[in-house]
Structure 1
C-alpha cells in the first residue's frame, strides 16, 4: 500500500512539473487498505463465523468497487509522453522490492500449511468435524473444499445457508479452528527459528525500503508541485 502511495505521489508531482497542473492521479491505482469484509468467509480449516453463515452462506459480502483516483487532466501526444516518462521516473526512484524475501516467506508459509494438514491433531479434529457434519445430514470430508460447492453460484440458496450453518456449528464443537491455528503457529515458529538469519536480513531490507518510501512520500506529494 505504501509503495502505491509513493508511486502515485511521484507521478502526480512529475506530471504537474511537466505542465499538467490539473493532473490529480487519473489512471493511477488507488492505495486502499485491505478490506477484510470482502474476503471469502471460509478458511483452510472451515467456516469463520456463525453470523456470516446464517446470512451469506459461503459467499463473500458484496464488494464495493474502488473509486477512481482524480479526474482526467489531459490527453494527446504530449500528455501520453509525459505519463510514460513520469511512470518510468517513479519506478526508477522506488526501485525493486527488497531481495527474494517474498519467495522465502511464501515457501515457508506453504511448508507450514502442508505440515499442519498432515499433523495427527489436525487429522483427528477434521475427522470429528466430518462426523459432526454427517450427523447433521451433510457429507463432507474436507472443510477447505466445502465452500467450493457453492461459491460459483450467483444466488445464495437455502441449501447453502444450511450447509454453512452446520459447518460453523461443527467447526466450533470440534474446535477444529482452534486446533488448526495452534498447530499452524507451532510449525511456523519452528520454521522461523530455522530460517532466522535469512528472515532477519529480509526484515532489515523491508525496513530500509519502507524508510525510503516514507522519504519519497514526504518530499514528492502533490503539494510539492508548482
Structure 2
C-alpha cells in the first residue's frame, strides 16, 4: 500500500501515466520463482530437470510507452517517496532488528545441529556416489551462477541434488529442526514479538486510513 501513496502523489504531480515502475511489490515466493537451492538442498526433481540451479525467469511484459524522465520527473519521484515516508512514519525498527537477529541465530544453530550434520553427511555421500562431489548444499549452486542459462552439466548436478536430498531426508530434517529452534525463540521473546506485531498492525491501519481519506490511486 505504500506504493499506492507514491503512485497517487506522482499522478497528482502531473505524471498521469506513472504506475509504479521500479517499485517493488511484495509477493510470496513459489517453486517457479524462488532460487532452487538452500542450506537444506533442492526444491524438487521437476524444477531440477528444467531450470537447474537458475531461478525461473518471469515473462517480460510487452514494452509500452517509455517512462517519463528528466530532472523534474526525478525530483517529483524523490519528493513523493519522501512524502509517503513522512505520512506513514518510520517502521518499527527495534522489532524488525530483533526478528532479523533471531532468524540469523536460528539458521546458525540449525546448521550445527547433529541431526542436520548427519543428514548433510548422507547427502554428501550420495552426491559423491552419483559422481558429483559436494559437501554443502548451500554452496553447490555457486558453481553455476555465472552461466546465463542452465547447462546439461548443471541439470545433471541438480537432478542428483534433488535425488540425494530425498534419499537423505535432508529437507524434512532441516526444516523440522529449524522450526523447533524458532518456536523456542518465539516463546523466549514473546513479549517483544507481540509488541512488534501490534506496531506493524498500527502502521498498516494508519496507511489504510490515509488511502481511505482520499489518497487512493486515481484511475488513469
TM range (shorter): 0.7 to 0.9
Aligned partner of 1:39 among 31, 34, 43: 34
Q: Secondary structure at the match of 1:60?
A: coil
Cα distance between partner residues in 2 of 1:158 and 1:81: 48
Alpha-carbon distance, 1:69 to partner: 10
Cα distance between partner residues in 1 of 2:82 and 2:35: 36
Counterpart residue number, 2:190: 196
Equivalent pairs counted in the alignment come to: 217
Cα distance between partner residues in 2 of 1:30 and 1:111: 31
Aligned partner of 2:113 among 119, 122, 126: 119
If you compute each CA radius of gyration, which structure gives the higher value, 1 or 2? 1
Alpha-carbon distance, 1:95 to partner: 1.4
Matches within 5 A, 1:162-181: 162-181=156-175
5+ residue gaps, structure 2: none
Matched, 1:6 2:1: no
Cα distance between partner residues in 1 of 2:26 and 2:64: 14
Matches within 5 A, 1:80-159: 83=77, 85-159=79-153
Q: Secondary structure at the match of 1:38?
A: coil
Alpha-carbon distance, 1:119 to partner: 0.4
Cα distance between partner residues in 1 of 2:20 and 2:219: 20
Q: CA 1:224–1:205 in structure 2 vs 1: closer, same or farther (change >3 Å)?
A: farther
Aligned residues: CA RMSD: 2.8
Contact 1:130 1:139 in 2 (8 A): yes
Aligned partner of 1:215 among 201, 205, 209: 209
Deviations 1:24-78 (A, max 9, x none): 326654453425332211122111110011111111112445789987579775x
5+ residue gaps, structure 1: none
Alpha-carbon distance, 1:191 to partner: 0.7
TM-score (norm 1): 0.83
TM-score (norm 2): 0.86
Cα distance between partner residues in 2 of 1:128 and 1:85: 55
Counterpart residue number, 1:160: 154
Counterpart residue number, 2:18: 25
Contact 1:49 1:168 in 2 (8 A): yes
